[in-house]
A and B are shown apart, each in its own frame.
Chain A
Amino acid sequence: MKKTILSARGLCKSFAHNGGQVHVLSNIDLELFDGDFTVVMGASGSGKSTLLYTLSGMDRATSGQVIYNEEDIAAMEEKKLAKLRRGDFGFIFQQMHLVSNLSLYENIVVPGWLNKEQPSAQVKCRAEELLGQMGISHIKSHLPSQVSGGEQQRCAIARSVINCPRLLFADEPTGALNRKNTTEVLNLLTHLNQQGQSILMVTHDIRAALRATRLLYLEDGKIAGDMALPAYQPEKERNREEQVNAWLSSMEW
């Protein structure tokens, strides 16, 4: 039996728009498990990003609960949320969002230093290790504007895991990347997952979806499909692709 790490109950999110209300998420019940690489798919505008933001506390739910550590994130006060973000959750944005006037290295260590629990030496050590893993050691003192999109994205991934978060959120981390970079990034995430990192990722890319141990399908703000997959093995990729494709077409993807 897997341990629940995060769960949502009756989660609703709507936006005020042109005087009316746009209901993006309606009454979602969901449990995420420790050690899972959960991938969310769905049509554009179905509310995937919104789901990610509300679950991670980047945005507040209109109603419903998001339970983490027996506490409701949706109703949590500012200070506690900040603590959560700097310790327990990591977030990878679709648009990278690196701080433009910090070097790649600084972008990675700053959240590490912010987290008071880690000693400085350990943060530095881990940052160097991550830079190496991501293959960006040689450009660590560059500013984001001086490196490529793929390098920025890898830096963003390193940043998101510097504090060893219990749960990593990723919104289309490969959306802006070419084929080669995509594979690199996916390999990294898979590697992290196999070391025990729980991940919740949104993607449009079927190759990204193949890395999942659990697939969710979002449609009109509701979870329309939920499928578990065995651990990813590169040699069995073809098989897996067929299985996922079949499932997706049953969802009318």
Chain B
Amino acid sequence: MAILNGMVRQDMEIITLIKANICRKKGSFIGITLLMVIISMSLTAIISVQDNCRDGLKAAYEQTDAADVTFSIKKQDLSADMLSSLKEHPLIGRIRVFDAIQATEIKCGGITEQTGWELLKYRKEFKIVNDAMNAYQKEPATALKNGEIYITQGTMTRMKCQIGDSLRFFISGREYSFQVKGIVVEPMFGSSTIGWKQIFINDEDFEKLRADEDAQKREGKTALYSMVSLYKAAGCALTDGKFKRRINLDTGIIDRASVSLTKEMSEHYTNLFMEIIFAILLVFILFLFLVVLITMAHSIGVGIEMDYTNIGILKSQGFSKNKIRAVWILQYLLAQAAGAFAGMVLAIPLCNVLGGLFWPITGILANKNISAAKSLFLISVILLISAFLILMLTRKIARISPIRAISGGRSEIYFDSRFQMPIFRNWLSASLALRQFTSNRRKYVGTIVIVSILIFFMLTVTLIGNVLNSKTAIQSMGGLYVECAMDFTEKVNDKQLANIEKTIEKYSKIKKKYYLTRRYLSVNGEEIYCQIYQNPEVVPVLNGRAPLYENEIVVTEIIADELDLKIGDKVLVTHGDSKKEFIVSGLFQSINDTGLTFVMPLKGAKIFGVESVDYAGYSLDSPQSSAKITAELNNIYDGILKAKSTEGGGIMEDTYTIAINCMKAVIYIFSVLFALVVVVMVCNKTFIQERNDIGIYKALGFTAVNLRIQFAVRFFVVALAGSLLGSILSIYFSGRLLNTLLRNMGITSFAVQFTPITFFVPIMSICLCFLLFAYLAARKVKKVEARELVME
């Protein structure tokens, strides 16, 4: 009361009151500040890293003069006529053409890659990265010596190689070995998410390769390619995709290319993973903010109740309700603002760490800037919402009348004993704890909601992890998860395929087999990645049925949306001069080409000149035998196929697993951190509230340990209830949330796989956290004598 008497001057009083209040209730304010630190830190860091990645990529495009459309075409197919017709095209502003030599296979250590690799002469615009891989090299690079190459980080990640390692290239059957001299930033194809890669060699090596190729005349086949860069004309307002399609319609050149990529798609693929992970984290942070609001509501609610008498006295001393409310609003906002500011400062080091996280995937050097303006704006919005909530919650203060507050105090709560569980002697502690819980239901509801939010997110990230480790889940989502795969170098007939199967079945049963080849075909004028299956019945369809007849296709939901198709619709598929009408027989999902893909049966693709499959993949019953199988197959069918064992290796690269594990770690750590702060705050507050009752129990002869366990178990049960709610939410909504967030990746129907372990780990970590900290919060029961617990 000393403070109250001293308060004469009108302006000082609010500040004095705030100071006194904050000192008295340090715990809650520290808690709220900490929660805000976490939120503002992660929000600022994520937004900044996101911006840095996007800006870094844009800067790299500029630096390397990346074209709007880049494609690679056999040099002999790019006639002078064709080139000049391109040059004259009104939408094309500028063309650059570079000679390239295509390798059909590249090896490093145990890793073999067969998709396109183009060797080009090194150009100065591709800057070299320093040893720490966080900036460009300052001093001008010494020229590439013979036998040395520059590659992108994406290539490194795919080939799992280091600087100084040798890569073996196979060009028209000849083998060459090159040593990796350094890493360059090549933004167009540089990301590990893009299959096509550029390798840079010096001019002399290039000319030698060209001479070798020229010397070995092979009919119709060549390793000499042209990499063509098309730049839109100044006035061209088309998107990159539309631009590419227009050029293709007018010249047909893209149909002849072996690969083409627009800058937009390159950007999409390069930052795809970062965007997905950050989208999930941002949603998580949004919910964490909800947790902060609930915690604050709890703190204010209990606080007002505990301060009932003081507020009454202040009122009786002539303080207006608005002044008292202002004190409350200011003190909580102050705590939040302090946390928000500290969080932004702490985001600076976090930004440095996170900035490098995506380097192995994107191969792009990201800046380390803080997006201050954007973050400040979002954090102001957060503070504004909080201020509004506090304003609503402190309405109660206005209703406290001085007399009722001073005399009645807080024993105003009425509850009906008729609806209570009886107290049982054999379950004395348990039933007393239950009574304490049921008579304070409303206060525990907030805690239950908080726990359920945390559990929901922990479960959701666990689900992503589960799917990555689950063969069946990946298969059901349209991924080819096989232990034994082979590429056919010659045409194979059904009899040969049957023999191959027989060979495999000597060692292991075949669970699933995929016979397919891939092409880019135009669907209603849009060039789309097509998977042509000899056995289309294995394609997992979400809706409708697999394309069993030669005039049927299935498309992804993303394509269906994009081209406005539904099951039963007719589409026109074209390639070169051939065209054929197909019916959409179903919808499926695939992460190939981020879901921009469709499937047709081999029978239907004959018209486009596709005669046989060039790939077979087998999912085995006993994956460990795949090494033996591939060895035998390569032996028997030498020259016809190249089999490789991909035991344990899925479609997901290690880097993805790392990034997803990072995200999992972030969500787990933040959840536990949040749970800790919340549990400490809620337990302490609740203990203060219940300490009178606990004191009475102690005076009646309950032991301190018993009372503490009772208190802790109560919170354990509350956490369990919250976990249950969170689990139910997760069962119903995790899949939907992931479908929305992962749509960019091509996933529209996430294969949710719950196992007991999925639930066990997050639930136990949160519940035990509550148990432990509630037990600690109640340490006063032991330290303090009964008299003091009862008196206040």
Task: Give the complex CA separation of A250 and B411 in angstroms.
Answer: 43
Task: Give the complex CA separation of A111 and B432 in angstroms.
Answer: 12
| Closest beta carbon of chain B to A253's beta carbon, Å | 26
Task: Give the complex CA separation of A245 and B364 in angstroms.
Answer: 97
Quick one: which of B688-747 are within 8 Å of A by CB?
Answer: 692-693, 695-705
Residues of A within 8 Å of B439, CB to CB, are 100-101
| Closest beta carbon of chain A to B315's beta carbon, Å | 24
A62: Cβ under 8 A from any B Cβ: no
Quick one: which of B193-218 are within 8 Å of A by CB?
Answer: none
Query: Is there contact, CB below 8 Å, between B704 and A59?
Result: no
Residues of B within 8 Å of A145, CB to CB, are 411, 413-414
Q: Which of A78, A79, A99, A120 contacts B693 (CB 8 A)?
A: A99
Query: Is there contact, CB below 8 Å, between A100 and B785?
Result: no
| Closest beta carbon of chain B to A119's beta carbon, Å | 10
Task: Give the complex CA separation of A83 and B701 in angstroms.
Answer: 6
| Closest beta carbon of chain B to A128's beta carbon, Å | 15
| Closest beta carbon of chain A to B121's beta carbon, Å | 83
A82: Cβ under 8 A from any B Cβ: yes
Residues of A within 8 Å of B79, CB to CB, are none
Task: Give the complex CA separation of A142 and B420 in angstroms.
Answer: 12
Query: Is there contact, CB below 8 Å, between A102 and B788?
Result: no
Query: Is there contact, CB below 8 Å, between B436 and A59?
Result: no
Residues of A within 8 Å of B411, CB to CB, are 100, 145
A126: Cβ under 8 A from any B Cβ: no
B422: nearest chain-A partner, CB-CB: A106
Query: Is there contact, CB below 8 Å, between B700 and A59?
Result: no
| Closest beta carbon of chain B to A13's beta carbon, Å | 11
> Chain B 495-511 against A: per-residue CB contact (8 Å), 1 yes, 0 no?
00000000000000000
Residues of A within 8 Å of B785, CB to CB, are 53, 58-60
| Closest beta carbon of chain B to A82's beta carbon, Å | 4
A110: Cβ under 8 A from any B Cβ: yes
Query: Is there contact, CB below 8 Å, between B786 and A97?
Result: no
Greatest chain B CB density within 10 A among A87, A100, A113 is at: A100
**Tally of A interface residues using CB under 8 Å:** 36
Query: Is there contact, CB below 8 Å, between B693 and A82?
Result: no
Residues of B within 8 Å of A83, CB to CB, are 701
Query: Is there contact, CB below 8 Å, between B788 and A59?
Result: yes
Task: Give the complex CA separation of A113 and B704 in angstroms.
Answer: 17
Query: Is there contact, CB below 8 Å, between A111 and B700?
Result: yes
Residues of B within 8 Å of A78, CB to CB, are 703-704, 782
Task: Give the complex CA separation of A58 and B423 in angstroms.
Answer: 26
| Closest beta carbon of chain A to B694's beta carbon, Å | 10
Query: Is there contact, CB below 8 Å, between B696 and A97?
Result: yes
Query: Is there contact, CB below 8 Å, between B432 and A110?
Result: yes
Query: Is there contact, CB below 8 Å, between A99 and B696?
Result: yes
Residues of A within 8 Å of B703, CB to CB, are 78-79, 82
B377: Cβ under 8 A from any A Cβ: no
B428: nearest chain-A partner, CB-CB: A113
Query: Is there contact, CB below 8 Å, between B787 and A58?
Result: yes
Quick one: which of B411-437 are within 8 Å of A by CB?
Answer: 411, 413-415, 417-418, 420, 423, 425, 428, 432, 435-436
Quick one: which of A101-121 are within 8 Å of B by CB?
Answer: 101-103, 106, 109-111, 113-115, 120
Query: Is there contact, CB below 8 Å, between A91 and B699?
Result: yes
A143: Cβ under 8 A from any B Cβ: yes
Residues of A within 8 Å of B414, CB to CB, are 143, 145-146
Q: How many inter-chain contacts with C-beta < 8 Å in the A-B complex?
A: 87
Task: Give the complex CA separation of A120 and B435 in angstroms.
Answer: 20
A85: Cβ under 8 A from any B Cβ: yes
A104: nearest chain-B partner, CB-CB: B417
Residues of A within 8 Å of B786, CB to CB, are 58-59, 85
| Closest beta carbon of chain A to B3's beta carbon, Å | 16
| Closest beta carbon of chain B to A131's beta carbon, Å | 15
A124: nearest chain-B partner, CB-CB: B425
Interface of A is mostly: helix
Residues of B within 8 Å of A58, CB to CB, are 699, 785-787
Residues of A within 8 Å of B428, CB to CB, are 110, 113-114
A87: nearest chain-B partner, CB-CB: B701
B542: Cβ under 8 A from any A Cβ: no
Residues of B within 8 Å of A84, CB to CB, are 701
A68: Cβ under 8 A from any B Cβ: no
Residues of B within 8 Å of A48, CB to CB, are none
Residues of B within 8 Å of A143, CB to CB, are 414-415, 417
Query: Is there contact, CB below 8 Å, between B787 and A59?
Result: yes
| Closest beta carbon of chain A to B460's beta carbon, Å | 37
B790: Cβ under 8 A from any A Cβ: yes
Q: Which of A93, A103, A111, A159 contacts B790 (CB 8 A)?
A: A93
Task: Give the complex CA separation of A60 and B543 in angstroms.
Answer: 76
Query: Is there contact, CB below 8 Å, between B790 and A82?
Result: no
Query: Is there contact, CB below 8 Å, between A110 and B700?
Result: yes
Q: Which of A93, A99, A103 contacts B697 (CB 8 A)?
A: A99
Q: Which of B413, B420, B695, B700 contacts A114 (CB 8 A)?
A: B700
Query: Is there contact, CB below 8 Å, between A97 and B704?
Result: no
**Contact A82 to B435, CB < 8 A, known contacts A59-B787, A100-B693, A101-B415:** no
Query: Is there contact, CB below 8 Å, between A82 and B702?
Result: yes
Task: Give the complex CA separation of A146 and B415 in angstroms.
Answer: 10
Residues of A within 8 Å of B790, CB to CB, are 93, 97
Residues of B within 8 Å of A99, CB to CB, are 693, 696-697
B786: nearest chain-A partner, CB-CB: A58
Task: Give the complex CA separation of A60 and B784 in angstroms.
Answer: 10
Task: Give the complex CA separation of A145 and B782 in angstroms.
Answer: 28
A163: nearest chain-B partner, CB-CB: B701
| Closest beta carbon of chain B to A200's beta carbon, Å | 15
Residues of B within 8 Å of A109, CB to CB, are 423
Residues of A within 8 Å of B700, CB to CB, are 85-86, 110-111, 114, 159
Quick one: which of A153-181 are within 8 Å of B by CB?
Answer: 159
Task: Give the complex CA separation of A125 and B698 in angstroms.
Answer: 24
| Closest beta carbon of chain A to B2's beta carbon, Å | 11
Query: Is there contact, CB below 8 Å, between B425 and A102?
Result: no
Query: Is there contact, CB below 8 Å, between B696 and A82?
Result: no
Task: Give the complex CA separation of A113 and B700 in angstroms.
Answer: 11
Task: Give the complex CA separation of A245 and B628 in angstroms.
Answer: 110
Task: Give the complex CA separation of A110 and B710 in angstroms.
Answer: 15
Q: Which of B415, B420, B701 contacts A111 (CB 8 A)?
A: B701
B791: nearest chain-A partner, CB-CB: A95
| Closest beta carbon of chain B to A236's beta carbon, Å | 36
B436: nearest chain-A partner, CB-CB: A101
Quick one: which of B764-792 are within 8 Å of A by CB?
Answer: 782, 785-788, 790
> Chain A 39-83 against B: per-residue CB contact (8 Å), 1 yes, 0 no?
000000000000001000011100000000000000000110011
Query: Is there contact, CB below 8 Å, between B701 and A82?
Result: yes
A-B contact pairs, 29 of them (CB 8 A): A58-B699, A59-B786, A59-B788, A60-B785, A78-B782, A82-B698, A82-B701, A85-B699, A85-B700, A85-B701, A93-B790, A97-B699, A98-B696, A99-B697, A100-B411, A100-B439, A101-B420, A101-B435, A102-B423, A102-B435, A103-B417, A111-B700, A111-B701, A114-B428, A114-B700, A114-B701, A141-B417, A143-B415, A159-B700
- 12 more contacts with CB within 8 A, not counting A78-B703, A102-B435, A111-B700, are A53-B785, A60-B785, A82-B702, A86-B701, A93-B699, A97-B790, A106-B423, A110-B428, A114-B701, A115-B701, A123-B425, A143-B415
Nearest first, the 3 closest Cβ-Cβ pairs linking A and B are: A86-B701, A85-B701, A101-B439
